[in-house]
C-alpha cells in the first residue's frame, strides 16, 4: 500500500512540475504597502486608482513549520513549497521607470503535493491576494500586480511570465506603476 502511495505522489509531483511556469517576482524598491491607502495629489488612494485594473481576489493559507512552508489553495489542496533561491537583480531604467529601482527576484517555489499530515507544530497565516492587470479578460496575463492583505495591504509585487525588458511588459509595468504614485 505504501508503494502505491509513493508512486501516486511521484506522478502528481511530476505533473505539477510540468505545468508550472517560470514566474518572476518584481518589487519596487522602498515602496511600502501602507502607501496604497494614503491619498495622493488627486485626492484618491492608489488602491482607488487601481480599481479599473482589478481582475480577481484569491485566498490561501500559508503554514510555517520547522519542516518548511506549506500552502493550502482553494481550501482543499495542500502543497509543500520548496524554495529555489536565486540572486535578486536590481533594475533601473530612467526612460521607463524614472528614478525608481525595481528588484527582480527570479527565485521560484516548487510545489510538492502533500498526501500526508502537516507538522504538528506550525503557524498559520491566511493570505488574501488581489490581482490587477492591464489586459482585461485574458486567462493568463503576462504581468500581474499582486497586493496581499486585502484592504490592509502588507505586500505588493508584480508577477511576470516574460522578461522584464520585453517592451510590452515595460509598458504594462509603467501603466500600473502610474496608478501607484
- Give the pLDDT score at 12: 47
* Contact predicate 62/71, CB 8 Å: yes
CATH number, domain of 74, equals 3.20.100
pLDDT tens digits, one per residue of 21-38: 578 999 999 999 999 999
Output the pTM of the full model.
Answer: 0.81
The answer to whether the beta carbons of residues 88 and 102 sit under 8 Å apart is no
pLDDT at 19 over 50: no
DSSP conformation class of 88 = -
Mean pLDDT of the chain: 84
Calpha distance 119→86 (Å, rounded): 27
What is the H or E stretch that residue 46 is in? Answer: helix 46-50
- Alpha-carbon dihedral angle through residues 90, 38, 159, 108, given to the nearest 10 degrees: 70
Assess contact for 38 and 74: CB atoms under 8 A: no
Residue-wise pLDDT tens digits, 117-171: 888 899 999 999 999 999 877 777 889 999 998 778 999 999 999 888 888 888 9
Structural domain containing residue 116: 2-180
And the C-alpha cell for 151? 484592504
Say how many domains are in the chain: 1
CB atoms within 10 A of CB 179: 20
Out of 16-25, 100-109, 138-147, least confident range:
16-25
Q: Which of 73-77, 108-112, 143-147 has the highest mean pLDDT?
A: 143-147
Amino acid at each position: 500500500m505504501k508503494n502505491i502511495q509513493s508512486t501516486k505522489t511521484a506522478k502528481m509531483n511530476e505533473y505539477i512540475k510540468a505545468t508550472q511556469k517560470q514566474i518572476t517576482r518584481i518589487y519596487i524598491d522602498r515602496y511600502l504597502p501602507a502607501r496604497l491607502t494614503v491619498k495622493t495629489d488627486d485626492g484618491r488612494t492608489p488602491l482607488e486608482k487601481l480599481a479599473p485594473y482589478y481582475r480577481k481576489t484569491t485566498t490561501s493559507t500559508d503554514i510555517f513549520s520547522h519542516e518548511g512552508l506549506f500552502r493550502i489553495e482553494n481550501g482543499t489542496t495542500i502543497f509543500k513549497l520548496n524554495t529555489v533561491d536565486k540572486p535578486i537583480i536590481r533594475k533601473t531604467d530612467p526612460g521607463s521607470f524614472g528614478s525608481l529601482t525595481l528588484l527582480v527576484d527570479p527565485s521560484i517555489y516548487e510545489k510538492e503535493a502533500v498526501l500526508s499530515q502537516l507538522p504538528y507544530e506550525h503557524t498559520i497565516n491566511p493570505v488574501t491576494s488581489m490581482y490587477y492587470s492591464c489586459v482585461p479578460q485574458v486567462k493568463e496575463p503576462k504581468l500581474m500586480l499582486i497586493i496581499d492583505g486585502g484592504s490592509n495591504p502588507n505586500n505588493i509585487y508584480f508577477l511576470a511570465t516574460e522578461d522584464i525588458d520585453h517592451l510590452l511588459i515595460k509598458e504594462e509595468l509603467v501603466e500600473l506603476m502610474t496608478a501607484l504614485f
